[in-house]
C-alpha cells in the first residue's frame, strides 16, 4: 500500500509540474526563439535558465540528442527538475534545435546534468544526473550499507527520482559521489565517474546512457553516429576558424585606426 502511495505522489508531482511550469516552450509553436547578438547565439539551455530565473533550485539533464539528415538540423531533448519548498517537479522538453557548436560541445554528455541552480547560484558543470543537489542530500535520502558497499537510497516521497536516474540498474556508490564532491564539484571540470575497461561510468558512450532504450540517439546505427560526429566536428571547427579570422580582422582594423589617429596628433 505504501509503494502505491509513493508512486501516486511521484505521478501527481510530475503531472502538476507539466501544468504549472511555463518555461519550456514547444519548438513548433514559435515561442522559443534563439536570440542573436553579433555572432552569439543562445543555446536552449541558456534560454531555459533565463525562463527559470524565478526558481532558486533546478537541474537540467541532456536526455537525448539527434540529427536530421533531411533538414540538416541538430536537436536536443532535456529533462528538468525544479525544487520547491514542498516537493520536486519534473518536466521533459520537446525536441529543441541546437547549433553544431553546442551539439559538438555536448557530444559526450547524453544522460548528464549540464546545468543546475542551487540556492540561486547557476552552474554549468557537467555531472551525472542528480549529483549536484539530490544524491547525497539528506533532505531527499540517505546512504545505505549493502552488498559490501554504501549506496544512495531516496526516501519514499522522492522515489520517482530513483527511477528517473535509473538507480535500480545503476546504483550510486558513495565512493563515486565522494570523488565528485571532493575533486570535481565547483571546479569547472566534468565528472563522468570511474573508467573501467576503457569505458566511462557515465556519458554518451557509457553503459548507463546506452541502456536508455527510449533514446532516439541509441536507436541510430554506428555508421550514422560516426557520420554525425565527423560532420559536427568539421562544422564546429569551421565556425571557430571563421570567428578567429573575424577577430583578427577586427584587431587589425583597430590597430590601423589607432596608428592613423596617433600620426595626426599635434598637426
Summarize pLDDT for 1-60 with one digit per residue, the tens.
545 554 444 544 444 444 444 444 433 333 333 333 345 678 999 999 999 999 999 999
φ, ψ at 115 (rounded to 5°) = -160, 150
207 inside domain: yes
81 inside domain: yes
Of 57, 61, 76, nearest to 166 by C-alpha is 61
159 inside domain: yes
* 53: Cα separation from own chain's centroid: 17
258 inside domain: no
φ, ψ at 200 (rounded to 5°) = -75, 155
C-alpha cell at 109: 554528455
Is residue 81 scored above 90 in pLDDT? yes
98 inside domain: yes
Is residue 92 scored above 90 in pLDDT? yes
Predicted model pTM: 0.76
Contact 96, 114 (CB under 8 A): no
CA distance 15 to 74: 29
C-alpha cell at 170: 545503476
63's CB contacts (< 8 A; 6+ apart) are 77, 78, 79, 92, 110, 111, 215
Identify the residue whose cell numbers are 541502456. 211
- The C-alpha angle 165, 169, 174, rounded to 5 degrees, equals 70
- The C-alpha angle 115, 237, 191, rounded to 5 degrees, equals 30
Give the burial class of 266: count Cβ atoms within 10 A of its Cβ; 0-12 exposed, 13-18 middle, 19 or more buried. exposed
Dump pLDDT digits (tens) for 114-162. 999 999 999 999 999 999 999 999 999 999 999 889 999 999 999 999 9
88 inside domain: yes
How many domains does the structure of the chain reveal? 1
Of 123, 138, 124, nearest to 177 by C-alpha is 138
Under DSSP, is residue 122 helix (H, G, I), strand (E, B) or coil?
A: strand
In the 8-state DSSP scheme, what is residue 156? G
C-alpha cell at 183: 575533486
Identify the residue whose cell numbers are 542551487. 118
Element counts in the chain: helices (H) and strands (E): 7, 13
The predicted structure's pLDDT at residue 188:
87
pLDDT band at 256 (very low <50, low <70, confident <90, very high): low
28 inside domain: yes
2's CB contacts (< 8 A; 6+ apart) are 156
CA distance 24 to 28: 12
pLDDT band at 213 (very low <50, low <70, confident <90, very high): confident
71 inside domain: yes
Is residue 169 scored above 70 in pLDDT? yes
The domain in which residue 185 lies consists of 2-253
The predicted structure's pLDDT at residue 58:
95
Amino acid at each position: 500500500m505504501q509503494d502505491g502511495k509513493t508512486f501516486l505522489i511521484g505521478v501527481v508531482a510530475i503531472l502538476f509540474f507539466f501544468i504549472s511550469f511555463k518555461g519550456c516552450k514547444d519548438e513548433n509553436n514559435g515561442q522559443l526563439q534563439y536570440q542573436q547578438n553579433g555572432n552569439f547565439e543562445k543555446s536552449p539551455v541558456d534560454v531555459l535558465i533565463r525562463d527559470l530565473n524565478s526558481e532558486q533550485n533546478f537541474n537540467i539533464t541532456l536526455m537525448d540528442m539527434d540529427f536530421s539528415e533531411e533538414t540538416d538540423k541538430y536537436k536536443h531533448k532535456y529533462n528538468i527538475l525544479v525544487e520547491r519548498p514542498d516537493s520536486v517537479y519534473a518536466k521533459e522538453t520537446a525536441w529543441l534545435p541546437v547549433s553544431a557548436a553546442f551539439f559538438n560541445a555536448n557530444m559526450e554528455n547524453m544522460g548528464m546534468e549540464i546545468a543546475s541552480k542551487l540556492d540561486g547560484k547557476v552552474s554549468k558543470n557537467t555531472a551525472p544526473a542528480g549529483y549536484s543537489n539530490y544524491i547525497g542530500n539528506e533532505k531527499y535520502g540517505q546512504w545505505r550499507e549493502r552488498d559490501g558497499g554504501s549506496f544512495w537510497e531516496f526516501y519514499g516521497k522522492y522515489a520517482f527520482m530513483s527511477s528517473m536516474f535509473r538507480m535500480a540498474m545503476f546504483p550510486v556508490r558513495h565512493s563515486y559521489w565522494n570523488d565528485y564532491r571532493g575533486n570535481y564539484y565547483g571546479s569547472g571540470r566534468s565528472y563522468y565517474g570511474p573508467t573501467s575497461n576503457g569505458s566511462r561510468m557515465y556519458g554518451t558512450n557509457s553503459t548507463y546512457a546506452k541502456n536508455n532504450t527510449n533514446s532516439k540517439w541509441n536507436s541510430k546505427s554506428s555508421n550514422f553516429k560516426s557520420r554525425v560526429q565527423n560532420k559536427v566536428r568539421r562544422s564546429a571547427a569551421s565556425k571557430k576558424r571563421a570567428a578567429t579570422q573575424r577577430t583578427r580582422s577586427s584587431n587589425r582594423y583597430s590597430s590601423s585606426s589607432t596608428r592613423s589617429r596617433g600620426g595626426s596628433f599635434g598637426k
